Amino acid sequence: MICCRGTAEEAMAALRTRRARLKLTVKEAKTRRCRGPDAPFHLLGYTLGRCYSPKTGESYRGVQPSAQKLQGLTRKLSAQTARRWRWLDVDERVGRRNQLLRGWAN
């Protein structure tokens, strides 16, 4: 990921020179250009893009968990609240859910 204020061509040229100097490879087919917060992009399970403040309604550049990661968390929570776990003690069930949520939040 490269964030720049100049043109994308300048950034790509700088990337190519650094990449050659460090002997790294970048898949050009996977590389895409996007325009700041107007075009959100996904990176390592997060979506970077435009967010809105719940208090003021103003927009800002922010990070949110991606929709796929949230669906995975929802699936895990749904599995833990299924009827098959009713035989467990309430404290045990709450402890397992808290462990899942705490790990996910961290």
For the stretch 11-55, pLDDT in tens is 888 888 888 888 888 777 777 777 766 778 888 888 888 888 899
pTM of the model: 0.57
DSSP assignment of 34-48 equals --GGGS-EEETTEEE
Instruction: Report residue 77 as tokens.
Output: 């929570």
- Per cent of the chain over pLDDT 90 is 5
3-state helix, strand, coil in the chain (%, to 5): 50, 15, 35
Which pLDDT value is given to residue 58? Answer: 92
Which sequence spans correspond to the domains of the chain?
Answer: 1-33, 37-65, 68-105
- Burial 49-75, CB ≥16 within 10 A → b, else e: bebeeeeeeeeeeeeeebeebeeeeee
For the stretch 46-57, pLDDT in tens is 888 888 889 999
Instruction: Report residue 90 as tokens.
Output: 């309430």
Statement: residue 7 has pLDDT above 90: no
Instruction: Report residue 87 as tokens.
Output: 């035989």
Residue 25's Cα: distance from chain center in Å?
24
Token pair 């061509």: residue: 9
Which pLDDT value is given to residue 71? Answer: 92
Which pLDDT value is given to residue 13? Answer: 84
